Structure formats: structure tokens, C-alpha cells
Amino acid sequence: MLYMSIVVAYQWFSQAYTLPFGGDSDEPAHYVTSLMVRDYIRTGFPQSPLAFAEQFYVHYPAVAFGMWGPMLHVIGGAWMAIFSASRVSIMLLIATLSATFAWSAQWVSRRAFGSLAGLLVGLGVCLIPAFQAYSTMVMADILTGTFMLWAAYWWSRYLENGRLSTSVVFGVLAGLALLTKANAGALALMPLPATVLAGRSDLLRRRSFWIPPGIVAVLAGPWLIFYASLMAHVTRVPTTPSIAYRYLLHSFGIFGVLTIPFVLAGMGGLLFGKGGAPGGRPLWAVSVSMLLGFILYHCLVPGGFESRYVLMIAPWVAVLLISGAALSGLRLPVFIRSGFPVVLLASVVVYGAATIRIPVKTQLPYSQVAADLVGRTNLPQSVFLFSSESAVETAFVAEVAMRDKRPNHFVLRGSKMLARMNWNGNRYENRAGDETQVRERLGAWGVSRVIIDTSPGATPWPHHRLLRKAVSEAPEWRLTRRYGSSVEVYEFLGTAKLPDRIEVDVPYTLRRSLTAPVMRRP
């Protein structure tokens, strides 16, 4: 309950219960994909998952099934099927998952170093800036970190007992971690060095050592193949010396730069004392291998640097931090030696609490726009088109999807219908033509309302500027309302003629178009 209370407080002060899913560009897609799974469950699995997802995408083009593993979306969909699809509901799920991550870090540390040290580790994890930020968003990183933590812990148990059952548990948890997010691939670099460092090379000759890769292949292999096909045309950020340095600095110093010497001391644990590394040799070996394997994996696999990635290995850095503090304390006077690790952890917690900065989500007016549109539309189905060059278009899609009687309205995105753009936006082709062609396309799609976020973006999109000019200067379109200083809603003054089907081109991931039928007025 302690960690749950802390996370709920973070969410409250960040206004996560009221503001749109705009904390990260991935957040709206995670929510809409979870919502799609929820509807698939509630409608009794009416068709194949892929066919259902494709039609759902045409209505609400923020589904990203396959771009990440399905675990968060399956858990989120099941949660919303039991409770509700509201913002508060999904944020409470994220609070539960985040609190579980902090509790898991406490449990592992408590088992090795005692209750007080475990409690301080849990609090220290809660005070990491990335945890403060991402425990207020619908994101997959914290859930991935939880699966990775328990997988690595069970491998440390395997190094202790060598049992087949323990190895199988590790394989299942590693597979679930990969089914949450591809960053969990770092687990593949942990078992071999951890086994050697723990002095258990004898396990390499056992069949049980080689069982986990087969389990992971069965569980996560199909998704990884599908994921690879989707990512074929996504430009990955190459690893540069600067990115590698940031991974090194932020991984070793996730609890603060001043703790890095103690983490390094903890990594050299077996060089000190007769008893080996504090906390046990297998746990030490897994901690060292997790930290170094994580950094190496993210330097080898292009993807850029994100602080939320580093958050996944915070519990293992904490183990090394405590080990290093205990070993460093051997040089201190006897009367303070035993309490030095606790004092160091307490200092980390106090510093974190004193410097806490809970980021508030971006103030976007999309919730009110969506509420007004969905509530005021009288047609059985309507087609909206939303365009922005400064905010993520999927944030608006998520707000409409949350309120709609799904699947009902169609929310078209300017970047999909008037342009061709890949996943990360570095391939762009304007397909809007001129103003007359834009208005003709709006008519062909049966668009009754155009919503434009006029805030300038870092990159000016020609199709976005052309769309605004096309509707603002046409007599058949009228500006009906402004929300704040940036969002404009234009309404078609005639009767929008809906087509038989709506088609959305998905050229870079699926490399084909998706269609969904339009209902007719009774």
C-alpha cells in the first residue's frame, strides 16, 4: 500500500486522471490498443484478432498491435473488461503495475540484505525521476522491468539449486518480458556470464541450462517475427559514442552520480572478504551480468537513449549499490560498519525526496473537443479528420475512442490521409495536392468536421498548412469553435455523404491498405 499511495500521489499531481494521454508519443497507442483488446473480449471474440484489430484501426488509427509485445495490452484490456475503460481505471492499473515494480525491488533486496535495506531500495526506486514520470503514463517499460527483475531473480535461484523447474520459471518469465517489450532482449546476455561469475560452470553441461531459449522461442518467437516485419521500414537511431556514454552514466548512476563509486565497488564484490559478495554470490553474479548486459544490448541494438529504458535495471543497480556500501564499510570503524549501507540508502532516499519533481502532463484541450463532438453528433456514424504538427495526433484519437460507442465514428488523421509518413516521422511525402483537391477528398471521405491544432511544430508539415487553408477559406466550411488558443473545429455546412467503406493506407508497417464498412442511416 505504501508504494501504491506514492504512485497515486504522483498521478494526482501530474493530473494524469484528467489530462489526455500525451505524456509520451507512445502513450495514446498503448491505451487505444488496450481498449481494442477490451472490446475484443467484451464482444466475445467475434473474428480473428488480426481482422478485428485492422477494422478497429480504421475507426481509431492509434492501434499499434505488434509494434510492442501484447502483454501490456492484454493485461490492460482484461483490466478494462472487468472494471471500465475510463482514464481513471487505466491509470489505476498503471499505479498497480508501478507499485508492483517497486515492491519487487524491495523483496529481492530484503531477501539479501534485510527488511530496512529492502524498504529503502523500494523507496529509492520510487524516487528515480524516470519512475516519477512514467508511473503516470500508460507505458510498457515498468511492466517490462518487473518481468525482467523476476526472470533474473529466478536465474539466481537456478545458480543456487540447479533445478530444472527453476530454469523453466526463468524461461517463462523471460518470454513474458519479451512479449511486453523488445528491450527485454537484454536478458539473453545475462545467463552465460552470470553462470561463470557465480562459479557454476558445471551447469553448462546440464540440459536444464539450455531449456530457457526453447521456451522463449515458443512464447515470444511468433511475435518477434511479426515485429521484425513491421520494423523493416522504421529508421532506427544508430548508437553513437554519446548514446553509449549516456547509457553508461545513467545506468551506473541511476540513484545519483555520487553512488557510482559504490556500484563499482559492488561489482568487484568477490575481490573482498572471505564470504564472497554481500547478498550471495549468485545474486551478485546476476546483478553484474544484468547491468553490463543491459548496457551492451542497448549499444548493439539501435534505438537511441531513453531514461525509461534504464529504469528497468534499477533493482539490480540497487543490489550492487548495497554490496558496494557494505564492502566499503569494512574500512570504517566497527561501531558504524554494519549500519553504513542503510545510512547510504537513507541518504539516497532523502536526497530523492528533497529534489522530487513530478512532471505535469501536457495541457491539451482534446478531452473537451472529443466530448463535445461525440456528444453532439446525431448521425449513426460520422467521420472526423484531425491534424496537428505540434502534438501527437493519436492523443486526440484516444480521447474519441474512450467516449465513443465503439466501433462507431471514424477519426482520420491528417498525417495518414493527406501525407505518407513512416513510424518515426523521418520519411515524409505530401499527398495533399492543392486546396481544391483537399476539399474534394474531404467530400469523398464524408468528413463532417475537421479539427486542427494550429500550434506550430518543430517540423512544418505542408499537408497540415494546406488543410487549414482549404477549410478556412471555403464557404461550405465554417469555424464553429476554438478551444484554448490553438484548436479549431470546422464543420461542413452541407450533408456529408458517407462512402461505403473507409480506407486507410499503412504503407511502411503493414505495406497495404486497411478498410472498414460504413453503416447507413436507418
Residue 388's nearest CA partner among 434, 425, 359 is: 425
- Residue 406 cell numbers, joined: 465503439
Q: Does the structure show a pLDDT above 80 at 426? A: no
Across 301-309, average pLDDT: 86
Q: What is residue 92's predicted lDDT score, i.e. its pLDDT?
A: 97
User: Given the C-alpha cell 515492491, which residue does it identify?
Assistant: 103
Tens digits of residue pLDDT in 79-109: 999 999 999 999 999 999 999 999 999 999 9
pLDDT of residue 335: 46
Structure confidence at residue 331 as a pLDDT band (50, 70, 90): low
Nearest-10 Cα torsion for 320, 323, 325, 329: -160
pLDDT tens profile 248-291 = 999 999 988 888 988 998 888 655 443 345 557 899 999 999 99
Q: What is the pLDDT of residue 273?
A: 43
- Between β-strands 487-492 and 477-483, what pairing exists: parallel, antiparallel or unpaired? antiparallel
Residues 299-314, mean pLDDT to the nearest whole number: 89
Instruction: Report d(CA 19, CA 4) in Å as an integer.
Output: 20
What pLDDT was estimated at residue 271? Answer: 52
Mean of pLDDT values over 224-252: 82
Kindly state the average pLDDT of the residues 303-323: 90
pLDDT at position 505 is 86
- Cβ pair 144, 184 in contact under 8 A: yes
Over residues 230-238, mean pLDDT: 70
What pLDDT, on the 0 to 100 scale, is given for residue 203? Answer: 94
- For residue range 107-145, list pLDDT tens digits in order: 999 888 888 888 888 988 999 999 999 999 999 999 999
pTM confidence score: 0.92
What stretches of 253-339 show up as alpha helix (H) in DSSP? Answer: 260-267, 281-300, 307-310, 314-328, 334-337
Question: In the 3-class helix/strand/coil scheme, how is 137-166 assigned residue by residue?
Answer: CCCCHHHHHHHHHHHHHHHHHHHHHCCHHH
- What is the separation, in whole angstroms, between the first and last Cα of the chain? 52
Helices (H) and strands (E) in the chain, counts: 23, 9
Give tens-digit pLDDT for 438-489: 999 999 999 999 999 988 877 788 999 999 999 999 999 999 999 988 899 9
Q: What is the mean pLDDT of residues 403-432?
A: 85
pLDDT for position 387: 94
